[in-house]
Each structure stands twice: as C-alpha cells, then as structure tokens.
Structure 1
Amino acid sequence: MRDHVLETQLAPTINNLGYELLGIERLTQGRFRTLVRIYIDHPNGITITDCERVSQQLSSVLDVTDPIASQYTLEISSPGLDRPLFHLEQYPRFCGSRVRVRLNKTLEQRRKFLGILKQVDLEQQQITLVCDEKEYNIAYTLIDHAQLDPTEEDIQALLKARTDALN
C-alpha cells in the first residue's frame, strides 16, 4: 500500500540529504508489525552507505513525529532494475520499457497487464500500454501497482553501459 501522507512528511529530509524520494510502501508483517519500505534514488545510483545515511536521519524524524501507530521495521531501498512506479510523473522516462501493471478494478475483464509503456498523458492522467499487440488506455486512478519488468536483453544492455562508463 502506498503512503502519500508519510511521503509528504519525509520527503524534505530525504531531499535535504541529496536524494529523491520515489515512494513508500507499507506492508503488514504478522499481526502487530508493519514494514515501511522507502525507495530513494540519486543520479549516481544508490549504495548501502546511502541507505544507512537516510535510515539514520529518518529514524530520528520518525521517533519525534511518531506517525506510524504500530510497531514497524524501517527499510530504505534503491529502486532496483524492476523499480516500482509510484507517481504518474515517474512514468514518462520509461516509455518504451516493459511494465507490469495491476489495477484496482477490471478493465476489459483484466486486472493484470504486462506490456510496453507506449505513452503517458499527464494532462489526461493516463498511460497507454501495449499488451499482446493491443493498446490499452489506462487511467492512472485505476493503477494499484506498477513496476518495470526488464527483459534479459534490457539487463545486459544496462550492465554493458555501466561497465563502459567505468572504463
């Protein structure tokens, strides 16, 4: 489950540290515990040290503001290759990429889609996804969860680009 209220509270701290807050997931762990997973990014990528730094700062903020009613585990994460997409504004840079989308209601008797993100219309608040050679215009309000689903080719190309950049 996304957590927009917590995002609003924590974004300034994350931004002041030089990172971008991509989004927050709250997941139930057992009966009385919650996992709060915070995704951050940086143009140079994210290291374990970055995650530790953000975790320390956010722990202090959360101790003071105490916005989470239950016991929780705080996890700071890089978005990874299969990065989740939390906000419509994050979608345009991934046009042409393979995306997995789960809807909160059915659209043409489907709730799950795997296809190529063809277009993002920020004004109309919708995406166009090509699945099985058919185009689907999906309102952003219908999207429960979306994430990149890179192919093996995509992963190899990214690894090659990173290797080339290091040389």
Structure 2
Amino acid sequence: MYIKQKKRKKIKENNKKIRINNETTEEEKISSLVEPLIENMGYQLVRIKMIGGDHNILQVMAEKEDGTLAISDCSKISRILSPIMDIEDLIEDQYRLEVSSPGIDRPLVRIIDFERTIGLEAKIELSEMLADRKHFRGMIEGTQDSEVLLKMEIDGYDEPQIIGIPFKKISSAKLIMTDDLIALANNN
C-alpha cells in the first residue's frame, strides 16, 4: 500500500469491464457462455455466482448501461438463458436460475463499478496482503493505472489519505450501506 501523490494515467476504456477474477472454473465457463448473450440483449454481465447448499442457485447479476435493471428485464434475461443453459448442460446437479440486479449495496467487480460509485463508502478484501492487511474500508476516490483509489484513515496521519489498491489483488468488494447511499438510491 502506498499513498498516492503523483498524477497517473487513466485506465483504458476497454479494460473497464474486466471483472475481478475470483470465479470458479465452472463459473468462468458459464460466464463465457452467458456474457455475449446478455450483451446482445443490451445488458452488461456484472457477476456469475454458483451458490451451493440444499438447493444450488446460479445467480446471474446484470444491469443496463445506466446501472439499472427492472423486474421485466430479469424475466427477459431468464427466458433467454434458461433453455440455453439446459442445452449446454454446464452444471451437473440440479439448480435454480436467479437473475437479479446488483442491488443498492452492490458488489464492485469491474473497474467501471468503482468509477460509477466515486464518493461512496466501500469494503474491499484482498487475495493477498498489502501493507500487512487484507481488509480495507474507505471512500472510493476513483481509479488510475489498474488501481482503485480509496480515501481512508491511516495510523500516523492526521487526515484521511488516498491509497492505491491494485485491482488484480481484490478478491471481493462491495458498497457499504450508508445514509448517503440510501439517499442516492432514493433520488434515482
């Protein structure tokens, strides 16, 4: 971890939709099938997740370009994906298909997600240690050079500092439910 002090170059536009690579092999196969189908329908794939337990659930999170997704959109995506998933037979066991929006306290899985949520508070977990820690919490300040910029309290400094967290080290990230986030959601 280091404190950002110099101006750095912006992330290329075509790299902004790359997702955090924490998908299982099964989820990667499903993503490679589902993503082009969803994009052809005018949506963006946010995340694919297999949730095990008594009943397996294939969770498909998607959104429109503006970050919204109505129930009718979920139904439309589900009607297209369901028969294709049955034909491709990528999942061995029985499962239930669940299509949803990312929600108000959404997971942040793409660089563009961090750029759209500048000024909001997030919790970020890393796959490996950075400055003797794996957990970070702070205000999203933007992205630069394949890093997420987070403004947070750091021991030894009087004021919050902006740090750079390498995108490739992030294992999970999500918005934290705050009054600001709720107010923003109510205004949209």
Provide TM-score, normalisation by structure 1. Answer: 0.82
Residue 125 (structure 1) aligned to one of 146, 151, 158? 146
Matched, 1:51 2:78: no
Q: Which runs of 5+ in 1 are unaligned?
A: 163-167
Q: How big is each residue's C-alpha offset from its partner over 1:6-34, in whole Å with a ceiling of 9 and x where there is no partner?
A: 2221112212322221121222224xx53
Matched, 1:137 2:164: yes
**How far apart, in 1, do the equivalents of 2:29 and 2:167 lie?**
19
**How far apart, in 2, do the equivalents of 1:26 and 1:136 lie?**
32
Q: How big is each residue's C-alpha offset from its partner over 1:112-141, in whole Å with a ceiling of 9 and x where there is no partner?
A: 2111111312xx321121222233321111
Matched, 1:6 2:68: no
Secondary structure of the residue that 2:42 maps to in structure 1? coil
Q: Which runs of 5+ in 2 are unaligned?
A: 1-21, 154-159
Cα displacement (A) at 1:81:
1.0
Aligned to 2:52: 28
1:1-167 superposed matches below 5 A: 2=23, 3-30=27-54, 33-42=55-64, 43=66, 45-121=68-144, 124-132=145-153, 133-159=160-186, 161-162=187-188
**How far apart, in 2, do the equivalents of 1:111 and 1:23 lie?**
22
C-alpha contact (below 8 Å) 2:29/2:90 kept by paired residues: no
Higher strand share: 1
Residue type of the alignment partner of 2:60: I
Aligned to 1:165: none
Residue type of the alignment partner of 1:34: N
Residue type of the alignment partner of 1:58: L
Structure 1 residues 111 and 8: alpha-carbon distance in aligned structure 2, compared to 1, 3 A threshold: same
RMSD: 2.0
Q: How big is each residue's C-alpha offset from its partner over 1:77-126, in whole Å with a ceiling of 9 and x where there is no partner?
A: 111111112222432222222111111122223222111111312xx321
- Percent identity of equivalent pairs: 27
